[in-house]
Amino acid sequence: METNVRMILFKEDQVDQASEAIETLHHHGISDNDISVISGVPFSEKILGRPMSWTRVPQIAVAGALFGFIISMLLNFLVPNLYKLSVGGMPLTPIPTSIVVTFELTMLGLLISTFLGVFIEMLSPSFGPKGYHPKIGDGYIGILFNCPTYADEDTCFELQDLGAEIVDVEEIKQP
């Protein structure tokens, strides 16, 4: 079955109409996998009646923290034993001084891996229809969906009744 990628835009304050529109699309048999919602301000998925997105950023963050912790353990306890240099009245690998480096490297691991997680998840391919319109930056809510050609006109009319702005197919480009 042939599908077109369509995009409709709602103004920033038409959140209710946007969620109605998504319900309409559901009625027409377009599943959530075939719908992408893009917007200029974050809307929780619950507001628009959409399934929650997934992310692994918290797990990546914890993994990074663990990595940082291990590195700090090596630096604090393994490294001084390679070439023992004794200093005044202090043991070679005292625990109080190790806490500082441990804390800093653990936090560094946590924060850098959070960022790398976001970076990788943003660059990795996403499912759902692709497309973008510059008006999103102006606060509009955009709904992209894979519309089967036979239902094209009906859906368009219904959505326009709700107040949507239908976007020309040529204008739907990746950013």
Residues of the shown chain interacting with other proteins in the complex, contacts defined by CB under 8 A: 12-13, 15, 36-45, 47, 50, 52-55, 57-58, 61, 75-76, 79-80, 82-83, 85-90, 94, 97-98, 100-101, 103-105, 107-108, 110-112, 114-115, 117-119, 121-123, 126, 128, 132, 134-139, 142, 174-175
Read out DSSP for 21-83? Answer: HHHHHHHTT--GGGEEEEESS---TTTTT-PPP---HHHHHHHHHHHHHHHHHIIIIIGGGTS
The answer to whether 132 touches 10, Cβ cutoff 8 Å, is no
Sequence-distant (≥ 6) Cβ neighbours of residue 82 within 8 angstroms = none
Nearer to other proteins, 27 or 86 (CB): 86
Nearer to other proteins, 141 or 147 (CB): 141
Nearer to other proteins, 2 or 42 (CB): 42
Determine the longest span between alpha carbons in the chain, in angstroms.
84
Q: C-beta of 46: minimal distance to other proteins in Å?
A: 11
Nearer to other proteins, 132 or 151 (CB): 132
Q: C-beta of 153: minimal distance to other proteins in Å?
A: 27
Query: 25 — phi, psi (to 5°)?
Result: -60, -40
Query: 89 — phi, psi (to 5°)?
Result: 70, 15
SS3 category, 161: helix
Q: C-beta of 119: minimal distance to other proteins in Å?
A: 7
Nearer to other proteins, 100 or 149 (CB): 100
Q: C-beta of 151: minimal distance to other proteins in Å?
A: 23
Q: C-beta of 72: minimal distance to other proteins in Å?
A: 9
Structure tokens at 161: 């009744």
